[in-house]
A and B are shown apart, each in its own frame.
Chain A
Amino acid sequence: MAVAEIKTATPPTGLSEFWFYFSRNKGAVIGLVLFVVILFVAIFAGFVAPHSPSIQNREVLLLPPVWAEGGRWSYFLGTDPVGRDILSRLIYGARFSLFIGLVVVSISVVSGVLVGLIAGYFRGRVDMIIMRVMDIILAFPSLLLALVLVAVLGPGLLNAMIAISLVNLPHFVRLTRAAVMAERSKDYVVASKVAGAGTLRLMFLTILPNCLAPLIVQATLAFSAAILDAAALGFLGMGAQPPTPEWGTMLAEAREFIQRAWWVVTFPGLAILVTVLAINLMGDGLRDALDPKLKRS
């Protein structure tokens, strides 16, 4: 008996479908490549950097970058006022910025999602109290609140990260709560409840996975915002303390040389801009790929 074989296209897996939409956004792919390069440089800073970030060479104070008059190949982007290699400091600085972003996003996502899930699932009085507390945090300009918190806790990188996480929290709480409220009354949740699923199972295994898309997009935005805020705190002297090669702190140290040596001011800021831009480009691509409303076939 002849068997007719009908070839059907295998349905795309979640990941390949995601990549299909993500890669259609050229900017997102550029952002991803940039981000991977920065990540690579940060991880292998010890191998990539030509000099130590803290060694001070008294013979090359304020050396201009290689293409300017008087520049040297061994100090590609020039040196700072105490003779440290700017390129090496930027490379080590990438570690701080990415680390800050990672820690802040982890803290604010985990706690924000938890609180938002509780608010959106239980509603009632719990929800009201949580949302009022979030309103209170949102009543302050984020940078001002972070600045004052760091002033209370004491200047430093760790306290800056805690402050920025707290300031970021309301966005995740609100987003999770809204998504949970939208999902909670849907049939699949009711069905799962009828089938006897417990509260925790309903919250974390049934509802939460369906709320993830907007959270992932918000997390990328928070990642870049955290890098900017930490750099701003460093710039104001309340973040990482010198001689840490954090980009914002480097800018603060370089400020007085603004008229004499443009390169000590230009490159740290450029590093911040490129990193933040790369992450935001990826964020736009993620939004296109994950938000079903925007998908166009």
Chain B
Amino acid sequence: MLRFILGRLAVLIPTFIGVSIIAFSFIRLLPGDPVMLMSGERVMSPERHAQLMADLGLDRPVYIQYFDYLVNLLQGDFGSSIVTKRAVLGDFLQLFPATLELSLCAILLAIFLGVPAGVLAAVKRGTWLDQTIMGSALVGYSMPIFWWGLLLIIFFSGYLGWTPVSGRISLMYFFPQVTGFMLIDSLISGQAGAFKSAVSYLILPTIVLATIPLAVIARQTRSAMLEVLGEDYVRTARSKGLSPFRVIGVHALRNALIPVVTTIGLQVGVLLAGAILTETIFSWPGIGKWMVDSVFKRDYAVVQGGLMLIAAMIMVVNLTVDLLYGLINPRIRH
């Protein structure tokens, strides 16, 4: 097992270096140089320009600049915003809980609906139920979620007036952000109605973000389940006279879930890509909206730092999934 972990880590290091090279060179690929980007429309004398370049260390050879960048990264310095001058890491840490809360709710919704739906479709294979579930899953899988979000807003916020359109909680409530998770913080604050308000703001974004993972998980569960249901040990379990519920729920599902766990792990990238769109539609103050806004504000220092942080996070999650997979499926280790 240790060898397996070390092997995975060894692969991670060149990937990390590659990602940092991409994030590093991204700013240098843009037309103009960082000083010109910072000065914007203002005219600058060549002397002042050279002075600023020297101040920022941009007059040195590129490989030295990259080395400095790497050293800064390892010390936790991801640069600072050109617009607000605030540290990128600080902003990221402040906004990340919002994205994490939304993503966790979405993936939980996707698992709790997707796995039973997939099992049901597999057990009732070929019936109208199977066809309905799989048909809906394919529609969900094909869904342009940015449009889906707008439709839900039109119906639930506009027509029925049930849910708010944007933000995380009603402006009526104000309480200290202890954990950064609105659901938990609103409960801790003890203010009447705060938790309910947080839920009402969270519900539509969660549905939108969960749609594609839900469809993927349902489809994957169904096919994994179908494969397992044909196995000998399931027949044995049946012929022993075990109840169908026990055969399906315990004997079949436990083995069918192994590939499903990998699928769930792979959804992290999908969730973050989805978060970009979902947060933009619902003005959800998370890292997805932050990145899009930074791209539009041409705050490339934030884009650079954000890219690096998000990629690093995905790499860590993928590594964790890999290791967990090795743990539950010993065959992978060898």
Residue in A144, A231, A232, A259 whose beta carbon sits within 8 Å of that of B291 in the complex: A144
Q: Is the CB of B314 within 8 A of A139?
A: yes
Query: Is A62 at the interface (CB under 8 A from chain B)?
Result: no
Q: Is the CB of A280 within 8 A of B158?
A: no
Q: Is the CB of B18 within 8 A of A136?
A: yes
A135-B15, A262-B154, A265-B147 known; A141+B139 contact, CB < 8 A:
no
Task: Give A148 to B298 CA distance when docked, in angstroms.
Answer: 11
Q: Which of A136, A235, A270 has the most CB of B within 10 A?
A: A136
Task: Give A265 to B281 CA distance when docked, in angstroms.
Answer: 13
Question: Contact flags (1/0) for A105-120 with B, using CB distance below 8 Å?
Answer: 0000000000000000
Q: Is the CB of B315 within 8 A of A237?
A: no
Q: Is the CB of B310 within 8 A of A141?
A: yes
Min CB distance B9 to A, Å, is: 13
Query: Is A272 at the interface (CB under 8 A from chain B)?
Result: yes
8 A Cβ contacts from A188-238 to B: 224, 228, 231-232, 235-238
A231 / chain B contacts, CB cutoff of 8 Å: 144, 146
Main secondary structure of the interface of A (DSSP, over half): helix
A140 / chain B contacts, CB cutoff of 8 Å: 19, 307, 310-311, 314
Query: Is A3 at the interface (CB under 8 A from chain B)?
Result: no
Query: Is B11 at the interface (CB under 8 A from chain A)?
Result: yes
Q: Is the CB of A273 within 8 A of B276?
A: no
Q: Is the CB of B303 within 8 A of A272?
A: no
Task: Give A280 to B273 CA distance when docked, in angstroms.
Answer: 20
Stretch in B22-30, B110-118, B245-253, B256-264 touching the partner: B22-30
Report the interface size for chain A: residues with CB under 8 A from the other chain: 42
Question: Contact flags (1/0) for B200-236 with A, using CB distance below 8 Å?
Answer: 0000000000000000000000000000000000000
Q: Is the CB of A269 within 8 A of B273?
A: no
Task: Give A270 to B143 CA distance when docked, in angstroms.
Answer: 9
8 A Cβ contacts from B45-82 to A: none
Residue in B19, B30, B138 whose beta carbon sits within 8 Å of that of A139 in the complex: B19
Min CB distance B183 to A, Å, is: 24
B295 / chain A contacts, CB cutoff of 8 Å: 147-148, 151, 238
Min CB distance A193 to B, Å, is: 30
A139-B15, A258-B154, A269-B151 known; A147+B146 contact, CB < 8 A:
no
A224 / chain B contacts, CB cutoff of 8 Å: 142
Task: Give A76 to B181 CA distance when docked, in angstroms.
Answer: 47
Q: Is the CB of A269 within 8 A of B150?
A: yes
Q: Is the CB of B310 within 8 A of A236?
A: no
Min CB distance B96 to A, Å, is: 14
Query: Is B35 at the interface (CB under 8 A from chain A)?
Result: no
Task: Give A265 to B142 CA distance when docked, in angstroms.
Answer: 18
Question: Contact flags (1/0) for B127-143 with A, using CB distance below 8 Å?
Answer: 00000000100110111
Q: Is the CB of A251 within 8 A of B150?
A: yes
Query: Is B36 at the interface (CB under 8 A from chain A)?
Result: no
Q: Is the CB of A255 within 8 A of B15?
A: no
Question: Contact flags (1/0) for A265-283 with B, using CB distance below 8 Å?
Answer: 1101110110011001100
Q: Is the CB of B280 within 8 A of A277?
A: no
Q: Is the CB of B269 within 8 A of A142?
A: yes
Q: Is the CB of A258 within 8 A of B158?
A: yes
Task: Give A135 to B18 CA distance when docked, in angstroms.
Answer: 9
Query: Is B121 at the interface (CB under 8 A from chain A)?
Result: no
Query: Is A284 at the interface (CB under 8 A from chain B)?
Result: yes
Query: Is A27 at the interface (CB under 8 A from chain B)?
Result: yes
Q: Is the CB of A143 within 8 A of B154?
A: no
Enumerate 9 A-B pairs (CB-CB under 8 Å) in ascending A order.
A135-B11, A139-B314, A140-B310, A148-B307, A235-B144, A255-B150, A273-B143, A277-B142, A281-B138
For the complex of A and B, 10 pairs with smallest distance between CB atoms: A269-B147, A136-B18, A143-B273, A141-B273, A276-B142, A141-B272, A277-B142, A139-B311, A272-B144, A135-B15
Residues of A within 8 A of B (CB): 27, 132-133, 135-136, 138-144, 147-148, 151-152, 224, 228, 231-232, 235-238, 248, 251, 255, 258-259, 262, 265-266, 268-270, 272-273, 276-277, 280-281, 284
